[in-house]
Amino acid sequence: TIVVEDDRTGLSVETLKRAFQDNLFYIQGKFAKIATQNDYYMALAYTVRDRLLRRWLTTAETYTHQGVRTVAYLSAEFLMGPHLGNNLISLGIYDEAKQAIGELGLDFDALLEQEEEPGLGNGGLGRLAACYLDSMATLDIPSIGYGIRYEFGIFDQDIRDGWQFEITDKWLRYGNPWEIARPEWSVEVKLGGHTETYMDEMTSRQRVRWVPAEVVMGIPYDTPILGYKTNTATTLRLWSAAAAESFDFAAFNSGDYFRAVLQKTVSETLTKVLYPNDESFQGKKLRLGQQIFFVSCSLQDMILILTRQGIPLDQFHEKFAIQLNDTHPAIAVAELMRLLMDEHAFEWDAAWSITQKTLAYTNHTLLPEALERWGLGLFGTLLPRHLEIIYEINSRFLEEIRLKFPGDNDRLNRMSLIDEAGERHVRMAHLACVGSHAINGVAALHSELLKQDVLRDFYELYPEKFSNKTNGVTPRRFMVLSNPRLTKLITSKIGDGWIKHLDDLRKLEAFVEDADFRQQWRQIKFDIKQDLADYIKQANGIDVDPASLFDIQAKRIHEYKRQHLDVLHIITLYNRIKANPDVDITPRTFIFGGKAAPGYYMAKLIIKLVNSVADVVNNDPDVRDRIKVVFLKDYNVKFAQRVYPAADLSEQISLAGKEASGTGNMKFSMNGSLTIGTLDGANVEIREEVGAENFFLFGLTTPEVYALKAQGYNPWQYYNSNPELKAAIDRIASGGFSNGDTNLFNALVSTLLYKDDYLLLADYQSYVDCQDGVSRAYRDQDHWTRLSILNSARMGKFSSDRSIREYCKDIWHVKPVAIELKE
Ligand code: 26W
Report domain extents, the chain: 1-66+83-116, 68-81+117-471+806-812, 502-699+759-798
CA distance between the termini of the chain:
20
> For ligand 1, what atom is nearest to the CA of residue 446?
23
Architecture per CATH, 68-81+117-471+806-812:
3-Layer(aba) Sandwich (3.40)
Q: Determine how many CB atoms are found less than 10 A away from the CB of residue 13.
A: 18
User: Percent of the chain beyond pLDDT 90?
Assistant: 94
Cα 769 to middle of ligand 1, angstroms: 30
Pairing type for strands 649-652 and 549-554 reads parallel
> What pLDDT is recorded for position 258?
74
Q: Is 425 a catalytic residue?
A: no
What is the spatial distance between Cα 529 and Cα 526, in angstroms, rounded to a whole number? 5
Spot the catalytic one: 149, 237, 476, 561. Answer: 561
The predicted-structure confidence for 562-579, as pLDDT tens digits, reads as follows: 999 999 999 999 999 999
> For ligand 1, what atom is nearest to the CA of residue 660?
23
Section 147-154 average pLDDT:
98
Q: Is the CB of 681 under 6 A from ligand 1?
A: yes
The size of the chain, in residues, is: 823
What is the spatial distance between Cα 535 and Cα 557, in angstroms, rounded to a whole number? 22
Largest CA distance in the chain: 92
Residue 297's closest CA among 213, 186, 222?
A: 186
Q: Is the CB of 277 under 6 A from ligand 1?
A: yes
Q: Is 555 a catalytic residue?
A: yes
> For ligand 1, what atom is nearest to the CA of residue 126?
13
What is the spatial distance between Cα 547 and Cα 545, in angstroms, rounded to a whole number? 5
Mean pLDDT of the chain: 96
Q: Is the CB of 585 under 6 A from ligand 1?
A: no
Who wins on pLDDT, 788 or 265?
A: 788
What is the spatial distance between Cα 315 and Cα 298, in angstroms, rounded to a whole number? 17
Cα 662 to middle of ligand 1, angstroms: 9
Strand partners, 419: 425
User: Percent of the chain beyond pLDDT 70?
Assistant: 99
* DSSP 8-state class, residue 592: E
Residues with Cβ within 8 Å of residue 51, at least 6 apart in sequence: 8, 9, 11, 91, 93
CA torsion angle 786 792 794 795 (round to 10): 160
Nearest CA to ligand 1 atom 6: 279
Burial (CB < 10 A; 0-12, 13-18, 19+), residue 233, is: buried
Q: Determine how many CB atoms are found less than 10 A away from the CB of residue 66.
A: 11
> For ligand 1, what atom is nearest to the CA of residue 372?
1
Mutation test residue for ligand 1: of 364, 473, 685, the one with most atoms within 8 Å of CB: 364
Q: What angle do CA 761, 766, 767 make, to 5 degrees?
A: 80
Burial (CB < 10 A; 0-12, 13-18, 19+), residue 42, is: buried
pLDDT over threshold 80, residue 823: no
What is the spatial distance between Cα 106 and Cα 37, in angstroms, rounded to a whole number? 9
Q: What is the pTM of this model?
A: 0.97
Mutation test residue for ligand 1: of 128, 285, 326, 758, the one with most atoms within 8 Å of CB: 326
Considering Cα of 145, then 147, then 151, then 155, what sign does the dihedral take?
negative
What is the spatial distance between Cα 198 and Cα 204, in angstroms, rounded to a whole number? 10
What is the spatial distance between Cα 27 and Cα 174, in angstroms, rounded to a whole number? 13
What is the spatial distance between Cα 452 and Cα 462, in angstroms, rounded to a whole number? 13
What is the spatial distance between Cα 133 and Cα 26, in angstroms, rounded to a whole number? 32
Architecture per CATH, 502-699+759-798:
3-Layer(aba) Sandwich (3.40)
Q: Is the CB of 325 under 6 A from ligand 1?
A: no
Spot the catalytic one: 237, 364, 476, 477. Answer: 364
The predicted-structure confidence for 348-405, as pLDDT tens digits, reads as follows: 999 999 999 999 999 999 999 999 999 999 999 999 999 999 999 999 999 999 999 9
pLDDT band, very low/low/confident/very high, at 624 (cuts 50, 70, 90):
very high
Q: What share of the chain is helix, strand, coil (3-state, %, to 5)?
A: 55, 15, 30
Q: Is 663 a catalytic residue?
A: yes
Q: Is the CB of 371 under 6 A from ligand 1?
A: no
pLDDT over threshold 80, residue 416: yes
Strand partners, 466: 439
Mutation test residue for ligand 1: of 278, 595, 665, the one with most atoms within 8 Å of CB: 278
Q: Do 502-699+759-798 and 68-81+117-471+806-812 fall under one CATH topology?
A: yes
Residue 672's closest CA among 449, 523, 461?
A: 523
Mutation test residue for ligand 1: of 78, 128, 148, 279, the one with most atoms within 8 Å of CB: 279
Section 81-109 average pLDDT:
98
Cα 706 to middle of ligand 1, angstroms: 22
Nearest CA to ligand 1 atom 17: 124
The answer to whether residues 234 and 71 touch, using CB atoms and an 8 Å cutoff, is: no
Q: Is the CB of 540 under 6 A from ligand 1?
A: no
Indicate the angle between helix axes 37-66 and 94-103, nearest 10 degrees.
150
Nearest CA to ligand 1 atom 1: 281
Alpha helices by DSSP H, 495-636: 515-540, 563-579, 601-619
Nearest CA to ligand 1 atom 16: 125
The predicted-structure confidence for 161-208, as pLDDT tens digits, reads as follows: 999 999 999 999 999 999 999 999 999 999 999 999 999 988 888 999
Section 656-661 average pLDDT:
98
> What pLDDT is recorded for position 249?
59
Q: Which helix (H) or strand (E) holds 666?
A: helix 664-670
Considering Cα of 329, then 334, then 337, then 338, what sign does the dihedral take?
negative
Cα 463 to middle of ligand 1, angstroms: 24
Burial (CB < 10 A; 0-12, 13-18, 19+), residue 168, is: exposed
Cα 98 to middle of ligand 1, angstroms: 36
The predicted-structure confidence for 78-94, as pLDDT tens digits, reads as follows: 999 999 999 999 999 99
Spot the catalytic one: 529, 556, 604, 633. Answer: 556
